[in-house]
Amino acid sequence: MSAGQYNFTIEQGADFLRTFTWKDAAGDPIDIGGYTFRMMARNDYDDALPVISLSTVSPPGGIAITGDGSAGQFTISMAAAITALLNFSSIMYDLEAISGTGAVIRLLQGTITLSKEVTK
């Protein structure tokens, strides 16, 4: 399975919240109970430190599975205090799911654009 291409925008200084549903080829939700998720975004593939690092594991947190995971839904979120600290134009990211047996699946990849805040 190839990673889906999904580009999105984060508004600097505002809460960010995006909910996804992982579905199989037939369009049925995949049970993600027992999975963990991680996402990193960097300016360049070779950068030592990510600009954004989120996970279902705390810290850093920022990704949450909805309910018991049977509906295949998870949410990525960042508080306004966190997005206010971001400072980039466009960066690349990917999001991976790790099964209970350790299999790693890249679900999404793409670019994140930052919409700069004027009111501070």
pLDDT of residue 12: 98
Closest by CA to 35, choosing from 107, 93, 94, is 107
pLDDT of residue 98: 98
Q: What CATH number is given to the structural domain containing 88? A: 2.60.40.10
Sign of the CA dihedral 35, 36, 39, 45?
A: negative
pLDDT of residue 78: 98
Sign of the CA dihedral 22, 89, 9, 61?
A: positive
Does residue 97 belong to any structural domain of this protein? Answer: yes
Q: Enter the tokens of residue 13.
A: 């200084």
Does residue 120 belong to any structural domain of this protein? Answer: no
Number of H helices, E strands in the chain: 1, 9
- Provide the residue range defining the domain that includes 19: 4-115
Over the chain (120 residues), what is each successive 10-residue block's mean pLDDT?
Answer: 94 98 96 97 96 95 96 98 97 98 97 95
Kindly tell me the burial class for residue 24, based on how many C-beta atoms sit within 10 Å of its own C-beta (0-12, 13-18, 19 or more).
exposed
pLDDT of residue 120: 82
Does residue 86 belong to any structural domain of this protein? Answer: yes
Number of separate domains in the chain: 1
Answer for the pair 16, 114: CB distance below 8 angstroms, yes or no.
no
pTM reported for the whole predicted model: 0.93
pLDDT of residue 77: 98
